[in-house]
Amino acid sequence: MLEGFTWYRQSAFKWKGDTKIVYIDPWGLIGDRPLADLILITHAHFDHFQPDEIKKVQGPKTTIVAPADCAKELSGNVKSVGPGEKLEASGIKLETIPAYNSVEGRLDFHPKKNNWVGYLMQLGARTYYHAGDTDNNAELHRIRTDVAFVPIGGTYTMDAREAATLVKAMKPTAAVPMHFGFVQGVGTPADAERFKREAAPIAVTVMRPTNEFENK
């Protein structure tokens, strides 16, 4: 189910399909980096929104989908979105999913009023959900997807246990932990293994990033 996916670091991924190239929150782009058909940005924090990284894979035919505060800083074919939208970009069907903090002590990191997002994507024959930065919010439990990419690093988002609770409520076919190992205080590879244990019986794949982990 993860054929064509590359994990760079934090929440940055590339999907290479038969005819389309999609990047999500590009950061740390090393190795093969073909020009994008579609770039998706979840929110404005530095570990998700890096205009210089975007430029590395943005071509004349690239579409960028991003929340309003990010979209206004970009040029080219840019679509500004908020939560709860359904759209098609570069021939790919998308739904924007609310992404925000609801746990006391995190509320100022990703306020609901910022209208930041995750994405439900139809890539090839399957659906994939990239959660962005979020907590285990009840409205996410309705999402039906083949694969869920969820943050597990804690501090600014769900931790491993909270993320496991979310995916068990969503019941995807498979789940992938992200947002750990690269920012001080935001998870380690051990948290990914904890998520894998606690998410059972959901099948979990811990991907290997192209960048070296900074949090061991």
Predicted local confidence at residue 189, as pLDDT:
97
Question: Alpha helix (H) ranges present in the chain?
Answer: 51-57, 68-71, 160-170, 189-198
φ, ψ at 114 (rounded to 5°): -75, -15
In what helix (H) or strand (E) does residue 5 lie, and over which residues does it extend? strand 5-9
Nearest alpha carbon to residue 34 among 42, 24, 23: 23
Q: Looking at residue 33, what is its pLDDT?
A: 93
Q: What is the mean predicted confidence (pLDDT) over 47-59?
A: 97
pTM: 0.96
Interval 171-212: pLDDT, tens: 999 999 999 999 998 999 999 999 999 999 999 999 999 999
Give the mean model confidence (pLDDT) for residues 165-172.
Answer: 98
- pLDDT mean across residues, the chain: 97
Q: Give residue-wise pLDDT tens across range 73-99.
A: 999 999 999 999 999 999 999 999 999
Every domain of the chain and the residues it spans:
5-204
Q: Which CATH number fits domain 5-204: 3.40.50.720, 3.40.640.10, 3.60.15.10, 3.40.50.620?
A: 3.60.15.10
Q: In the predicted model, is pLDDT for residue 216 greater than 90?
A: no
Nearest alpha-carbon partner for 28 in 5, 45, 3, 11 = 11
